[in-house]
A and B are shown apart, each in its own frame.
Chain A
């Protein structure tokens, strides 16, 4: 079981290639927001950058907060989201302690599915897909759930 981590954000140059790749490849959108990883300056450009992405909580507070079962715990950490079950209530985003869930203007949630497609687009190797050694959820399910 793999999760996306951002262990070397001190190297980040703020190019946004990771989040643009997520939006492009996972969500088929041109967007800074509709992505599972979003880059923010941490108090202005002079202080560097931080990645807003799912920390793969286990248990995940967003899944616990979801009233319709659209969010399910992902084995190894993180969540699987079934958007056809989502009522756009926004409780997932409220529950996330690290602002990792983006809500589109219509309430659609966007959260990292730990697929790692952003990793290869980082020119400075800031990101990493880390094996947490748990077997379980299939990546195909996860991808499907994001579309």
Chain B
């Protein structure tokens, strides 16, 4: 480390209208670690709970943890913001090169405040801060924007390029921030927060360096952790077929959401399993910087664009959730068709999970006559790749009132047009697990409304009898373990390696002695602060409702038990309120 104490966070706070920034040193390392804890602390400091998400003064926050760059798979960044989806505090996580770029730029966090005077790109590094007018990129699709920014800035390989597409410019609550082409801050609309700040791109240049601890302890521990990540089969699931391995597994146990969750199993899923993608479409693998596992799977889209044999091809990253959202949910069961849709969604800068589930609802609404093609413009039909390509474009472009409203959230559109019963919304559009009551409640009430808030999907699969107290206890404890990792900020795929003892050893080897000794308190502090921050921005878990469609689901265990689901929801809501109100 270079001067500042280990106990302090080094934060770069950028004032967009002024085009300037200031370095701030903040206490709190020993109690909050970084990542999720740090973003909540920074929102407490800079956020405006009572003002709307697009108030120019609302901060857009990116934070890493104490182990970022120092150990393998400590490769994620936490983005925090007030969400356009529900106007409450939100987090989204992404990998790519963002985490190591921030580390080498020398900051624990980047806070962006205000609104740029013109469409702009912010670039920061260890010896660099510049706001550049890029009005010529406004309106440009996300992939082309990336290519232009790549040409405009130096540092290939050692920088991270964050950017938005048209959806972010249009204020869509489904707009993502793309990171380095293949990764995303996907959920809850952070892309719109960038758009509201007139920020088309952010380039983080990882051009700084810092000395490592003397002695052999740190490199020895690094090698031990690295070997666990690469020489054992702990990571096999992630680098072999990747997360799409879940497609066949969930389909096999009748727990895969299909056709807007009208079904949970279908023989056609064979065309879009992880095995099918790997065999037919997998072009190569890629990794986040600092991760030897390489879970990023890149498939290809090949398109004949002229009668003569003239083809183009593009590379598209795929994972379980995108395949669920653009495939199973829309009943598109051809792997190449799914990749084509993912490519379309990517260009618009939409979160594929929300966008896919939204169009699945629109398709059923059209089938039921709740909306007509006057609203949907194209005749959306389950399985119809061409119609969905156009549909995704209209959603990103907010082509008419219907798509403008749908882009604010499926439930917002359902409240206006009808069809709330079959809107697959659990806080936000659902993730790809129809495993049962615990997962539905976990996503609906979880802080990020994500399948990653807690392992409810795995609890369901253990075929337990209804047990409200046991399930709530599990959700609360599992969340606490996960927030410790998201404060470091580890990839959650590494949770099998980074147990408390290993984390403690890693921190100690770098000189974070107090933090190493206090991990239990840290995870409790972070959990409490996050919930308190969320509740302060208006979240009331008691008012969350779970649409009727989720009660109609049939899994391998039979029909959903609505009495259990409701009891669980009420009990978990009570637990969340207790967590957030503690000492408040």
A binds B: yes
Q: Which residues of A contact B (CB under 8 A)?
A: 13-17, 20, 23-25, 28-34, 38-41, 44-46, 48-49, 104-105, 121, 123-124
Knowing A25-B219, A41-B157, the reply to whether A32 touches B206 (Cβ < 8 A) is: yes
Binds A, one of B195-203, B289-297, B438-446: B289-297
Compute how far the CA of A28 lies from the CA of B270 in the bound complex, rounded to whole angstroms.
50
Please tell me if the beta carbons of A40 and B156 are within 8 angstroms of each other in the complex.
yes
Q: Is the CB of A38 within 8 A of B294?
A: no
Cα(A45)–Cα(B298), bound, Å: 11
Does B536 lie at the interface of the complex (its beta carbon under 8 Å from any beta carbon of A)? no
| Assembly CA distance A48 to B226 (angstroms) | 23
Q: Closest chain B residue to A29 by CB distance?
A: B209
**B157 adjacent to A44 (CB under 8 Å):** no
Q: Please name all residues of chain A whose beta carbon is closer than 8 Å to the beta carbon of B147 when the two chains form the complex.
A: 44
Q: Does B36 contact A (CB under 8 A)?
A: no
Q: Is B127 a contact partner of A105 (Cβ separation < 8 A)?
A: yes
Q: How many residues of B contact A (CB 8 A)?
A: 43
How many pairs of residues, A versus B, come closer than 8 Å at their CB atoms? 93
Instruction: Beyond A14-B289, A104-B209, list 17 extra A-B contacts (CB 8 Å).
Output: A13-B284, A15-B287, A15-B294, A17-B292, A23-B209, A28-B211, A30-B70, A30-B104, A32-B100, A32-B104, A38-B158, A44-B150, A45-B181, A46-B314, A105-B127, A121-B292, A123-B294
Contact A13 B104 (CB under 8 A): no
Q: How far is the CA of A117 from the CA of B284 in the complex (A)?
A: 26
Q: State A34–B285 Cα separation when bound (angstroms).
A: 26
Chain B residues, Cβ within 8 Å of A121? 226, 292
Task: Encode B256-298 as 1/0 by CB contact (under 8 A) with A.
Answer: 0000000000000000000000000000111111111110101
Known contacts A41-B156, A41-B157; is-contact A31 B104 (Cβ 8 Å)? yes
Which chain B residues border A124 with CB–CB below 8 Å? 294
On whether the beta carbons of A46 and B158 are closer than 8 Å, the reply is no
Q: Which of B150, B157, B298 has the most C-beta atoms of chain A within 10 angstroms of its own C-beta? A: B157
Assuming A44-B181, A123-B294, is B158 touching A29 (CB within 8 A)? Answer: no
User: When chains A and B are docked, how far (Å) is the Cα of A16 from the Cα of B181?
Assistant: 17
List the A side residues contacting B209 at CB < 8 Å.
23, 29-34, 104
- Complex contact B290–A16 (CB within 8 A): yes
Q: A29 is contacted by which of B211, B288, B289 (Cβ under 8 Å)?
A: B211
- Nearest CB on A from B292, distance (A): 4
B310 to chain A, nearest CB (A): 20
Asked if B315 lies at the interface with its beta carbon under 8 angstroms from chain A, I say: yes
Residues of B participating in the A interface, judged by any CB pair closer than 8 Å = 69-70, 72, 100, 103-104, 127, 146-147, 150, 156-158, 180-182, 206-212, 214, 219, 222, 226, 230, 284-294, 296, 298, 314-315
CB distance from B22 to the nearest CB of A (A): 22
* CB-nearest residue of chain A to B286: A13
Q: Contact: B182 with A45, CB < 8 Å?
A: yes
Most buried by A among B182, B208, B292, B293: B292
Task: List 17 A-B residue pairs with CB atoms under 8 Å apart, sorted by A's residue number.
Answer: A13-B284, A13-B285, A14-B289, A24-B212, A29-B211, A30-B70, A30-B104, A31-B104, A31-B210, A32-B157, A32-B206, A44-B147, A44-B150, A45-B286, A46-B181, A121-B292, A123-B230
Q: Which residues of A contact B212 (CB under 8 A)?
A: 24, 28-30
CB-based closest 10 A-B pairs: A40-B157, A31-B209, A15-B287, A13-B294, A123-B292, A13-B287, A32-B158, A40-B156, A46-B315, A15-B292
Minimum CB–CB distance from A61 to chain B (whole Å) comes to 23
* A147 CB → nearest B CB, Å: 12
Closest to B314 in A: A46
Complex Cα gap A136–B293 (Å): 38
Q: A30-B69, A32-B100, A32-B206 are in contact. Are A15 and B290 (CB under 8 A)?
A: yes
Chain A residue at minimal CB-CB distance from B158 = A32
